[in-house]
Chain A
Amino acid sequence: MELIVADYWIMVLLFILVVASLAIYFIKDLLHAVIVYGVYSLIMALVWLQMNTPDIAITEAAAGICVTILMMLVVFRTNRKEEE
């Protein structure tokens, strides 16, 4: 099976995906972990775009990057208010 340019491109994307998901486990600060989760979602949206599914790419970019991070930040803020 012959490899074309798109195959190497998707290999790079999947490698960044693995590194990002490992980094979420090892980072101690919660805020930094949430930001790295945004990187994970962005790379995932690019992978969907590589697989010719722009519908899911739009939904992943909107729901994965914006909504999840926003809800997590709201939860952190309410938790910090209780601790003080």
Chain B
Amino acid sequence: MKKFLNNVDQMLVESLSGFAAAHSDLVDIQFDPTFVARKQKSDNKVVLISGGGSGHEPLHAGYVGRGMLDAACPGQVFTSPTPDQMLAAAEAVHAGKGVLFIVKNYAGDVMNFEMTTEMLPFEHATVLTSDDCAVVNSTYTTGRRGVAGTVIVEKCVGSLAETGADLASCKALGDKINVRTSSIGAALTSCTVPAAGRPTFDISEDEIEMGVGIHGEPGRRREAMREADAIVGDMVAAIVQDIEAKQLPTHGDILLLVNGLGATPLMELYLIYNTAAKLLTEKGFHITRSLVGNYTTAIDMAGASLTVCLLDNEITQHWDSPVHTAGLRWGC
């Protein structure tokens, strides 16, 4: 393992301290229990709190700020945060209209947020994101995982919450976007959890992991490395199939997000965008919004994910509204 680090046990605290210092105009950080909150506390609005294991930066702390989250609770690397963090965050940021938790669908995250809501003294609701179509949903499994589509949920629901909308409306928009969003990832290499010190999985030079999760969990299948167009073609096909399976239209306006998993350069991400956009347009979609970059990472994994969100006027309007966070900023 070759990483910039001092003491592996201090890595998270040092990184979060750096994050808070670099963005001291936007956020405040508190440790033990650890959470990141907006510098400017909101008034009379639904507050959005998210959280998850660390290692997916800028998710979620990078999305704290005007137009997105009110607070984020970073857990240990790839490990859900704990209820005391969420309770402390809710106590610090609540603004009289309830708390909306945005939770990626993993057993640990769901259980920790569930225990939090059992103890929470405020009105609350939860949006569970599950955009990853690599994992087939079934009543017998934990179900689809929440991945990069979570960023779209946090952006748009954050925008709606700024307008003073109530808790039920914010939850409804989050649930709607989640249903209309499909993602799939592909890994060229593993990631290395710092405390583990070695790659999470072995993969040879001529292989890829199709459908990889953002923790390096295996996906649909291990397959041979091919040229980018072939890999992206399979990813687009999986997404289109998922949209069809959900009986949603395979035409109309979409947002296309090409997300880097940590160690894939923008040059390759734009190449992926080029192919994906062509294929989706041929399919009948109209790409009216796009985003390319590292928005939901898996530490140092080389790889990328594609996310397609079927837009409507409401989602487009909230995507376009001003946002000022460390990870996303436009319109202000």
- Asked if A and B are interacting partners, one says no
Chain A positions near chain B (C-beta within 8 angstroms): none
Interface residues of B (CB under 8 A from A): none
